[in-house]
Amino acid sequence: MELKVRLTAGEFRYDEYGDASAPPMVLVHGTHTDASTWAAIVPELAATRRVVALDQRGHGGSARTSEYSFELMRDDLLEFVDALGLEKFLLCGHSMGGTVTTIFAERYAERLSGLILVDSPPPDGQGDWPLPPKPDGELGFDWEVLVGIFAQLAD
């Protein structure tokens, strides 16, 4: 089910599946995509969990902002889980979402029942992260997300 929530940065879109009383699991997608990236595995996960998948800032149906960083996305995630009343939950992040969830876990470990990282770059500033050329046409995400996070990964 597609839903919306108002956070400090604006309106954020998310999907929710499963029994609302089941143990919660929060899914955080990577760059260039949105919550729909989890569609193939959600039915299996939702069989035993309340699954929520957020469109991160600058992606899908969520707010486009003037600023992007892993810390801002971490703060969005905290506001999001607080708005949903999730006290303790399993957190899963893919790619860029894995970096967001890693820094969330560093600061808010007590909120997590577990952390799953899928193909995630480490937030250590040791990588080579050249910005690719911007593709032509309409994008499903704000290009400025890449500008902000690639610079942060390389710094």
Listing DSSP states for 56-74 in one string gives: -TTBTTSPP-S---HHHHH
Q: What is the pTM of this model?
A: 0.88
Query: What does the pLDDT look like over 30-50, one tens digit per residue?
Result: 988 999 999 999 999 999 999
Q: Which phi and psi angles does 144 have, rounded to 5°?
A: -65, -20
Residues 116-144: b if buried by 16+ CB within 10 A, e if exposed: ebeebbebeeeeeeeeeeeeeeeeebbee
Residues of the chain whose pLDDT is less than 70? 1, 122-129, 154-155
Cβ pair 34, 61 in contact under 8 A: yes
Structural domains of the chain sorted by starting position, each given as residue range(s) with its CATH number in brackets: 2-154 (3.40.50.1820)
Beta strand 10-17 with 50-54: parallel, antiparallel or unpaired? Answer: antiparallel
The Cα–Cα gap between 84 and 106 comes to: 21
Say what the pLDDT of residue 125 is.
Answer: 59
Query: What does the pLDDT look like over 61-74, one tens digit per residue?
Result: 999 999 999 999 99
